[in-house]
Amino acid sequence: MDDLRRSPLHDIHVQLGARMVPFAGWDMPVQYKGIIAENKAVRGKLGVFDISHMGQVFVSSDTADVASAWLDSILTNNVAKLKIGHGQYTLLLNETGGVIDDLIVYRQTDTDYFLVVNASMVEEDVRWMQEKLPASDVVLTNCSDDFAGLAVQGPEAVTAFQSMFDGAGQLPERFCMSTIATDNGDVIICRTGYTGEDGFELFCASATGPRWWQRCIDAGATPAGLGARDSLRLEKCYPLNGNDLAPDRTPLEAGLAFAVDLHKPDFIGRETLIRQKTKGLHRRLVALKQTNKSPPPRPGYVVFSGDEEVGTLSSGGVSPSLGCGISMAYITSGHNKIGTVLEVEIRGKRFPAEVVRKPFI
């Protein structure tokens, strides 16, 4: 535990009685009052998550469009199409089309970009990108240690923003960003989210993180931990890197074709994706809903069709919103159509589950 990194908000979590757990090399809160209560607070009102473990990377160039051209060579989506202040979900692939990481890229100016990457992948992402840098005119800066991050999520997010900023700035449109000058320093506000609810992410200087956390609480947000975050994203079938996304699985298999622009002339991993699109996919990431009462489905559990093993769960748990087991799994062709009834082996017994349309709610 001594080698785990601590968020700028660590002392606050401890004071609130949070249950702390190791996550991606960090000591992070998994829950405060309880996962179900925190899930429902986000779905019904407002929650705040500490996302200081996420990475913040800046890419810039002296010449317009040079940075975007380089980013387009290593990312799947079309960065060149971004307007200033706009962002997009995209993926960083290896040479064989497998997922290194999924991330959000925002265009700040004609020459400057802001990337938010997954906590467990910051060092690997930066190392991979640095190896691909051109000889000149593109600068990549990892500023992850400089920031604290908060995700404010729920139906009351807009009202909370207005309360927190009191006219100092405007909440960006969906999948956009802005920088707001405040009495606690400049903050970057993004509007994406990982829960399926409206909301925004606030990135500030590490030292001011506790102050912004308190502003969130004062605006009516309930503290929420990793457990609620995982149940919320699973209910919406948002993939988790390292579980649903991996170096041996492509974005097409994961159902993320919307974040892949195969019309771009070239990017790392493109050849594999072109081949898959031409020849068809042998497996797909699907949503499974338990149809009878069962123990919670968990990652790694095997899925059967009769006596045939047809897949393995990549994510799973109990949905607080639905009150039943839900999961995602890579299922082989012929068994992954919506309405197909399969069985998940849980604790040595098999329980029926149906392939359903994404998302669960």
> What confidence tens digit (pLDDT) does each residue in 189-201 have?
999 999 999 999 9
Q: Whole-angstrom Cα distance, residue 185 to residue 189?
A: 13
Strand 147-153 and strand 55-60: the pairing is unpaired
Q: Which fold has domain 282-356?
A: Elongation Factor Tu (Ef-tu); domain 3 (2.40.30)
Q: Which of 139, 138, 144 is nearest to 124 (CA)?
A: 144
Looking at the chain, which residues constitute the CATH 3.30.1360.120 domain(s)? 5-53+145-235
The CATH number assigned to the domain with range 5-53+145-235 reads 3.30.1360.120
- Please give the pLDDT value at position 118: 97
- Please give the pLDDT value at position 1: 52
Q: Whole-angstrom Cα distance, residue 169 to residue 179?
A: 9
**pTM above the 0.75 mark?**
yes
Q: Could you report the per-residue pLDDT of 61-114, keeping only the tens digit for each?
A: 999 899 999 999 999 999 999 999 999 999 999 999 999 999 999 999 999 999
- Please give the pLDDT value at position 90: 98
Q: Could you report the per-residue pLDDT of 155-201, keeping only the tens digit for each?
A: 999 999 999 999 888 999 999 999 999 988 999 999 999 999 999 99
Which residues in the chain land under pLDDT 70?
Answer: 1-2
- Please give the pLDDT value at position 87: 98
Three-state DSSP at 249 gives coil
Q: Whole-angstrom Cα distance, residue 77 to residue 12?
A: 38
DSSP E strand boundaries for 86-221: 87-93, 99-107, 112-117, 139-142, 147-153, 177-182, 185-190, 199-205
CB count in 10 Å sphere of residue 344: 26
CB count in 10 Å sphere of residue 30: 17
Looking at the chain, which residues constitute the CATH 2.40.30.110 domain(s)? 282-356
